[in-house]
């Protein structure tokens, strides 16, 4: 079976990218990273990509600033790169930019995001802080398909993390991140095996195997 070609979009420190790289190296996922794309020239994710000999592409958002719809124009540039590298699955990993329909439609049910809460609770920014301030006793992380509603797409996998009395946003975020690094590669592998089927809002996992 040929390996599924992944495109990773990342803006920051890239620890989820690193977890995906590690899972590929350990052969727990049957995929290869075709390209890492960032909107942030200084993202650690790009450094990590290049360190591992992967293609790392920075696309400057300012290049689209004069376009009638700068966000769509930017995503058309992303799409060109994804197509150039023959990407089959797009994974957003700390990508701090809203993706537009141009990209979402081209990769419908082939684009995933990871979010640090149990969606639909605490979408958007600072999810861990939101959970603590709400007084939630359990939070976690979610891998979901990307649709036009931010953090609203069908859920692929979730992992729960109890919130402890002594937690700070930092300690909670660190424990959630451990789970992110575990479940994101799992979701990618399920995709690679063709085991994900979207039915309405539900993602059915065909023959999930041991968790
Ligand atoms: C993660 O917490 C992820 O859930 C959120 O952004 C953060 C990215 O972290 N979408 P990293 O860049 O992968 O380390």
Output the pLDDT for position 105: 97
Q: Is residue 39 classed as helix, strand or coil in its secondary structure?
A: coil
In this structure, what DSSP letter does residue 62 have? G
Rounded to whole angstroms, the Cα distance separating 111 from 37 reads 14
For atom 14 of ligand 1, the residue with the nearest CA is 15
pLDDT digits (tens, 9 = 90+) for 125-160: 999 999 999 999 999 999 999 999 999 999 999 999
Cα 93 to averaged position of ligand 1 atoms, centre (Å): 6
Greatest alpha-carbon span in the chain: 51
Q: Which of 180, 184, 187, 188 to mutate to test the pocket of ligand 1 (most atoms within 8 A of CB)?
A: 180
pTM score of the predicted model: 0.96
- 45-51: which pairs have CB atoms within 8 A and are 24 or more residues apart? 45/8, 45/10, 45/11, 45/12, 45/13, 45/14, 45/17, 45/93, 45/94, 46/10, 46/14, 47/14, 48/14, 48/17, 48/18, 48/21, 49/8, 49/14, 49/17
For atom 5 of ligand 1, the residue with the nearest CA is 94
Output the pLDDT for position 207: 85
User: 210 pLDDT exceeds 70?
Assistant: no
Atom of ligand 1 nearest to the CA of 173: 2
Q: Which CATH architecture has domain 1-107?
A: 3-Layer(aba) Sandwich (3.40)
In this structure, what DSSP letter does residue 128 have? H
Q: Pocket residues for ligand 1 (CB within 6 Å)? A: 10, 12-16, 93-94, 114-116, 177, 180
Which residues carry out catalysis? 115
Arithmetic mean of pLDDT, 31-48: 98
Please state, rounded to an integer, the average pLDDT across all residues of the chain.
96
User: 202 pLDDT exceeds 90?
Assistant: yes
Output the pLDDT for position 211: 60
Class of domain 113-211: alpha beta
Residue ranges, CATH 3.40.50.170, the chain: 1-107, 113-211
pLDDT digits (tens, 9 = 90+) for 157-185: 999 999 999 999 999 999 999 999 999 99
pLDDT digits (tens, 9 = 90+) for 81-121: 999 999 999 999 999 999 999 999 999 999 999 999 999 99
Q: CA geometry: angle at 187 spanning 183 and 190, to 5°?
A: 135
């Amino acid at each position: 079976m040929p390996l599924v070609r992944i495109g990773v979009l990342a803006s920051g420190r890239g620890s989820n990218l690193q977890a995906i790289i590690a899972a590929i190296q350990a052969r727990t996922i049957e995929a290869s990273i075709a390209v890492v794309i960032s909107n942030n020239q200084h993202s650690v994710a790009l450094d990590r990509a290049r360190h591992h000999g992967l293609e790392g592409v920075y696309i400057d958002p300012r290049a689209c600033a004069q376009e009638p719809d700068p966000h769509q124009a930017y995503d058309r540039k992303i799409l060109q790169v994804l197509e150039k590298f023959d990407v089959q699955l797009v994974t957003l990993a700390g990508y701090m930019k809203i993706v537009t329909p141009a990209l979402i439609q081209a990769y419908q049910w082939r684009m995933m995001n990871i979010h640090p809460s149990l969606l639909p609770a605490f979408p958007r920014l600072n999810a861990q802080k939101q959970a603590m301030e709400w007084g939630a006793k359990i939070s976690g992380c979610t891998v979901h398909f990307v649709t036009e509603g931010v953090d609203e797409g069908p859920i692929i996998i979730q992992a729960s993390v109890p919130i402890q009395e002594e937690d700070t946003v930092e300690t909670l975020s660190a424990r959630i991140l451990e789970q992110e690094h575990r479940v994101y590669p799992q979701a990618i592998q399920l995709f690679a095996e063709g085991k994900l089927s979207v039915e309405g809002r539900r993602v059915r996992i065909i023959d999930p195997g041991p968790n």
